[in-house]
Amino acid sequence: CLLPVALTLNRVRADKYAPHTTVGPFRLLSRVATSQACEIWEASREPGGTRHALKVMLPSRTGDRAQIDLLRREYAVGRQLNHPLVIRVDEFAVDNGVGYLAMEYFPAPNLKQVMRQGGEAWLAAATRVAQQTAEALGAIHNQGWIHRDVKPENFLVALDGPDGPQVKLIDVSLGRKIRGWWGRLLTSGPKAEGTRSYMSPEQIRRRPQDRRADIYSLGCMYFEMASGKPPYAAATAQELLQKHLRLPPPSLKSANPLVSDRFAALVKNMLAKEPQDRPESMEAVARELRLCGESGMFTTETQKKQIK
């Protein structure tokens, strides 16, 4: 349901917001990220000053029903999810044609940014981060949802958490409920949704999808975590999608010869073209990661060389 609050919005003339702008009951403090349609801010809810992450439509998107509906959908899905590895979604409202979403504030970069920065802390945490991404997705699967946009940008990662690295899964705007007594199938919409570098073959073909679509996407992400790049690249969007559909999974050992054998085998299985050939659940993925042992994603020698 919508928050029944009288809302006001003071916007700057440019197509962005400025610190101390008010958006409904929220005061913007510092910009966290910007996309084509929204900005994300650290914000203070007044009165009281509680901190939130506020996802707010850009001024140029005022009245954009499709974007408002996307935020409403993200709210509807997020409010039904409850797990410490999944970002908490608190409020949604529309004010004068501008939609916004208030969420748990988790001050950490996304996984893509962490990977680009690299360093000893990232190498030491990589296997545990991988385990937590599988656990986060397993949690939403167990609550009857699939994510459908698994990629490094949709995981926040704090490497210096009080109990070690901590992950938060975000952006469930493409999430779909798994319906029906027969289990895990859903009918996709009229267009393929997701991010091309990580989309499963069944998403591209707009065929029924279940939890194993997320497993494929996570396999693409693990490939990137271990090698620095997704499994497929192409000059055009159509060529990239065709590679997901037709090319066999590339060898992770070829991309990084010092990746552990067990992790490389896991990623290969996750990237199988047919859902039935992939691991059956995120729990199975997390279990296999634990069985990778002390070396985890990388051999000990890999870590030594990369740290140097």
Residues serving a catalytic function are 149
Burial 71-109 (b: 16+ CB within 10 A, else e): bbbbbbbbeebebebbbbbbbbbbbeebbbbbbebbebb
Contact 30/118 with Cβ under 8 angstroms? no
Angle ∠(237,242,247) on CA atoms, nearest 5? 130
Look at phi and psi of residue 118 and say left if phi exceeds 0, alpha if psi is from -120 to 50, else beta.
left
Peptide bond into 59 cis (omega under 30): no
CA torsion 44→82→280→153, rounded to 10°? 0
DSSP 110: B
Spatial CA neighbour of 175 closest among 140, 123, 126, 222? 140
Burial 129-138 (b: 16+ CB within 10 A, else e): bbbbbbbbbb
Extract the tokens encoding 265.
């085998």
Encoded amino acid at 237, one letter: A
Task: Name the 3-class secondary structure at 269.
Answer: helix
